[in-house]
Amino acid sequence: MTETLTNRSLIELDRDHLIHPVASFRGHEAHGARVLASADGMWLTDIDGKRVIDAFAGLWCVNVGYGQESIVEAAADQMRRLPYATGYFHFASEPAIRLAAELTALTPEGLDHVFFTLGGSDAVDSAVRYIIHYFNAIGKPEKKEFIALEWGYHGSSSTGAGLTALGNFHRGFDLPYKWQHHIPSPYPYRHPQGDDDAAVIASTVAALEAKVAEIGADKVAAFCCEPIQGSGGVIVPPKGWLKALREACTRLGILMLVDEVITGFGRTGPLFACEEEGVTPDFMTTAKGLTSGYAPMGAMFMANHIYETIADASPLPVGHGMTYSGHPVSAAVALEVLRLYREGGVLANGVKTGARFAERMEAIRSHPLVGDVRYRGMLGAIELVTDKATKGMFPAELNLGDRLSQMTWDNGLIVRCFANAVIGFAPALTCTVEEMDIIFDRVQLTLDQLL
């Protein structure tokens, strides 16, 4: 297609050819797709020249902000030198090796082995497969059952969608698989003892113990969770929750898979949310902030004792790999992103602006529509209710999520509007205090319009 496309024809071609499964399938039926043309820092410009501030870092991923020239240079450099090297067989490339070494020096101690994927879904899939391999290797092949959380999200592949507990990811399939189970989420706002941190923590531990007892400890392989549940509506468990679950997994003789696809790379303050809780999981999955959206990549980390066991197993586990695993260009991008986090001051700025984020979140608590405010670092959400006292939820027929998405866009703001009237925030860690104020002024305006 060589002719210059007008903006209208772009929108029509999108409608005719591009599938938008998580929107209305046909893109945005009423208004056409929002076709983005360029970006810089916190700001996106669409093909009509409309400028919006992105308070969601793309899809919780562009942690270093848009327009980072040094990443462009790193990618171009690597493309010229060696655009591809397979991660299959015995091949590797210098950026993939350097990245593996640098990352494993930064992950919780004892997670010294990494497998690179294309994103978060296949990182979770890989972890599930290697957990099964591990139990085969130690002569416990019957340990095959997985327990995850309601409101959790672990990807769009069949395995990840089954571990996910959001209904539309199961619909029409026999998901979750019969080896996938769910226990209640530690959702403080909607928990009967939500004000009591210890009770919330104890209830998840008790639910895990009960589920393991129900299935049989000799059959359960692992517990899988996000440190903060992202796509379920940014559900923030009390501090100490992850550590208590780690201890429970050890006590119950099951492995722990912590999915840090959203929380990793400074999103909640430290480089990994596990770090804050002093937790070392047996498997950890990451993606998004690893390359900050500049190239596709995920990473699955495996504990040393698991690695040694699988590596020594005979016969070796069945094959597992992807054409683009450890892609040199993605790895070169990730190396530069890592440098920006630390030497470029991105993590430090996230902590600084995170303080302003907290202030503005607290200030919006008094708005008549806001029932709950929850956040950690630069990740957060507000939950809108019909009545603060009863925590009444808006009827689904109102399509409040869609309405809010349109209203915020019209007000020059991108946030994530969940169907259950939750507005999620995950701005780039490079966001300035002034930009944070612009975001919240636009949130306030939108909420006032809704009254």
The contact set with ligand PMP (CB under 6 A) reads 119-121, 124, 153-155, 226, 230-231, 259, 261-262, 287, 298
Q: How far is the CB of 70 from ligand PMP (least distance, A)?
A: 23
The residue whose Cβ lies closest to ligand PMP is 120
Smallest separation (angstroms) from ligand PMP to the CB of 6: 32
DSSP, residue by residue, 191-226: STTTT-HHHHHHHHHHHHHHHHHHH-TTTEEEEEE-
- Which residues are CB-neighbours of 199 under 8 A, at least 6 positions away? 191, 193
Rounded least distance, CB 120 to ligand PMP, Å: 2
Rounded-to-integer distance, Cα 15 and Cα 277, Å? 46
Going by DSSP bridges, is the β-strand pair 379-384/43-46 parallel, antiparallel, or unpaired? unpaired
Residue 394, classified by CB atoms within 10 Å of its CB into exposed (0-12), middle (13-18) or buried (19+), is: middle
Residue 295 has φ and ψ, to the nearest 5°, of: -160, 150
Min CB(429)–ligand PMP separation in Å: 17
CB closer to ligand PMP, 9 vs 168: 168
Q: List, edge to edge, every strand of the sheet that includes 379-384.
A: 370-376, 379-384, 422-425, 416-417
Closest CA to 333 of 106, 86, 78, 87: 78
CB of 157 to ligand PMP, least distance (A): 8
Confirm if 395 and 193 have CB atoms less than 8 A apart.
no
278 is written with which tokens? 């002093």
What is the spatial distance between Cα 353 and Cα 57, in angstroms, rounded to a whole number?
Answer: 14
- Nearest distance from residue 153's CB to ligand PMP, in Å? 5
Provide, rounded to whole angstroms, the least separation between the CB of residue 35 and ligand PMP: 21
Q: Which is nearer to ligand PMP, 298 or 371 (CB)?
A: 298
The DSSP element (H or E) to which 362 belongs, if any, is helix 346-364
Q: How far is the CB of 130 from ligand PMP (least distance, A)?
A: 16
Q: Which is nearer to ligand PMP, 87 or 155 (CB)?
A: 155
407 touches 450 (CB < 8 A) = yes
CB of 185 vs ligand PMP, minimal distance in Å: 13
Q: Which is nearer to ligand PMP, 281 or 371 (CB)?
A: 281
d(CA 430, CA 434): 11
Spatial contact of 256 and 246, defined as CB atoms under 8 Å apart: yes
Gap between the Cα atoms of 286 and 272, Å rounded: 9
CA-nearest of 429, 426, 433, 443 to 59 is 426
Q: 243 near 167, Cβ under 8 Å?
A: no
Q: How far is the CB of 162 from ligand PMP (least distance, A)?
A: 13
Q: Is the CB of 423 or the CB of 447 nearer to ligand PMP?
A: 423
Q: In terms of CB distance, is 137 or 426 closer to ligand PMP? A: 426
Residue (233 or 238) nearer to ligand PMP, CB = 233
Q: 120 or 266, CB closer to ligand PMP?
A: 120
| Cα–Cα dist 253/245, whole Å | 12
Tokens of 135: 């139990």
User: Which of residues 87 and 119 has its CB atom nearest to ligand PMP in the complex?
Assistant: 119
Specify the 3-state DSSP secondary structure of 371: strand
Kindly tell me which of 136 and 231 has the beta carbon lying closer to ligand PMP: 231
Quote the distance between the C-alpha of residue 129 and its chain's center: 20
φ/ψ of residue 337, rounded to 5: -60, -45
Asked, as a colleague might, if the bond just before 315 is cis with ω within 30 of 0, I would say yes
Nearer to ligand PMP, 154 or 367 (CB): 154
Q: How far is the CB of 276 from ligand PMP (least distance, A)?
A: 17
